[in-house]
């Protein structure tokens, strides 16, 4: 689904990128690939994701207490086994006990032993806790994975449900965004143990804020992104973070 008041995706071939007021022209699928292919940072800076020892540093000194978590564990076929923990929705402030990790070109909040990702294999972070905070971190880390060197199709095949195997020209772009994209904040829309609706706000290189609706579903013991049937995520350019929870490392 396209942004509010935007034309259909197949009519956006000459639409300006929401990230800046410059003359970079993007189609809806170009925008999706820009965020989930990491082309901007790779072209401009030549960066790749760092291994786990260099990826983690604290973002807060407050740790979850025993009263907010449970010891219930279920092991999925993918090997995920974090306890479900607190079912409180972090709708007014970022969850405590997280740390900033460098995922590709982006700083993403993580809590591997509490909320996830429990497993890291190469550039892939998976296994998030079956609770609202786990869904939130999975949603944010999904966008961060898009700034690694992996093509968009690989990101979707690993971290989404309903993604087509052939994403066409998404994997090969001939223009850059002009700089790195970073996390700016989020807003929780709804939550059930099966599905979570979260808007993740990313800030583009020119300071533009874009809120992406990021539906997540609990699938085979982990939170997965629900790939949009139209091929393009619903998004909205916002003037400020009013109504959203600010959360960033810049």
Model pLDDT for residues 16-72, shown as the tens digit of each residue: 455 544 323 233 444 555 455 433 333 233 333 333 333 444 444 334 433 333 344
- Residue 249 and residue 99 in contact, taking contact as beta carbons nearer than 8 Å: no
Quote the CA–CA distance of 218 and 196 in Å, as a whole number: 9
Domain containing residue 41: 19-58+85-246
> In this predicted structure, what is the pLDDT of residue 120?
93
SS3 at position 212: strand
> In this predicted structure, what is the pLDDT of residue 174?
24
> In this predicted structure, what is the pLDDT of residue 147?
80
Quote the CA–CA distance of 176 and 120 in Å, as a whole number: 28
Quote the CA–CA distance of 108 and 44 in Å, as a whole number: 20
User: Is 171 exposed, middle or buried (CB count within 10 Å of its CB: 0-12, 13-18, 19+)?
Assistant: middle
Structural domains counted in the chain: 1
120 within domain boundaries: yes
75 within domain boundaries: no
> In this predicted structure, what is the pLDDT of residue 168?
53
- Residue 159 and residue 142 in contact, taking contact as beta carbons nearer than 8 Å: yes
> In this predicted structure, what is the pLDDT of residue 45?
35
Residues in contact with 34: Cβ distance below 8 Å, sequence separation at least 6, in sequence order: 17, 26, 40, 173, 177, 181
User: Is 83 exposed, middle or buried (CB count within 10 Å of its CB: 0-12, 13-18, 19+)?
Assistant: middle
40 within domain boundaries: yes
Q: Give CA separation, 228 vs 18, 123, 214, in Å.
A: 19, 24, 9
176 within domain boundaries: yes
- Alpha helices by DSSP H, 61-113: none
50 within domain boundaries: yes
73 within domain boundaries: no
> In this predicted structure, what is the pLDDT of residue 239?
96
Quote the CA–CA distance of 3 and 216 in Å, as a whole number: 19
Q: Give CA separation, 39 vs 9, 21, 64, 188, 248, in Å.
A: 21, 19, 36, 28, 21
197 within domain boundaries: yes
* Intra-chain end-to-end CA distance of the chain, in Å: 30
9 within domain boundaries: no
Token pair of 104 as six digits: 């590709």
Quote the CA–CA distance of 221 and 75 in Å, as a whole number: 7
Which residues of the chain carry a pLDDT beneath 70?
1-78, 167-179
Strands 124-126 and 160-161: unpaired
């Amino acid at each position: 689904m396209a942004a509010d008041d935007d034309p259909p995706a197949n009519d956006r071939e000459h639409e300006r990128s929401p990230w800046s007021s410059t003359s970079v022209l993007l189609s809806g699928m170009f925008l999706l690939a820009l965020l989930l292919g990491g082309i901007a940072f790779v072209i401009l800076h030549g960066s790749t994701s760092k291994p786990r020892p260099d990826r983690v540093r604290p973002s807060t000194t407050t740790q979850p207490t025993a009263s907010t978590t449970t010891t219930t564990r279920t092991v999925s076929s993918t090997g995920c086994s974090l306890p479900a923990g607190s079912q409180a929705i972090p709708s007014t402030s970022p969850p405590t006990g997280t740390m900033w990790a460098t995922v590709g070109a982006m700083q993403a909040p993580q809590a591997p032993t509490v909320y996830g990702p429990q497993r890291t294999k190469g550039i892939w972070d998976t296994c998030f806790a079956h609770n609202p905070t786990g869904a939130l971190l999975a949603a944010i880390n999904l966008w961060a994975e898009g700034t690694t060197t992996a093509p968009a199709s690989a990101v979707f095949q690993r971290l989404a449900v309903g993604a087509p195997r052939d994403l066409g020209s998404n994997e090969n772009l001939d223009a850059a965004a002009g700089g790195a994209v970073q996390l700016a904040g989020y807003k929780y829309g709804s939550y059930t143990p099966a599905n979570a609706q979260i808007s993740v706000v990313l800030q583009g290189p020119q300071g533009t804020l874009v809120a992406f609706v990021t539906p997540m579903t609990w699938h085979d013991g982990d939170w997965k992104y629900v790939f949009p049937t139209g091929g393009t995520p619903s998004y909205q350019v916002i003037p400020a973070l009013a109504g959203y929870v600010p959360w960033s490392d810049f």
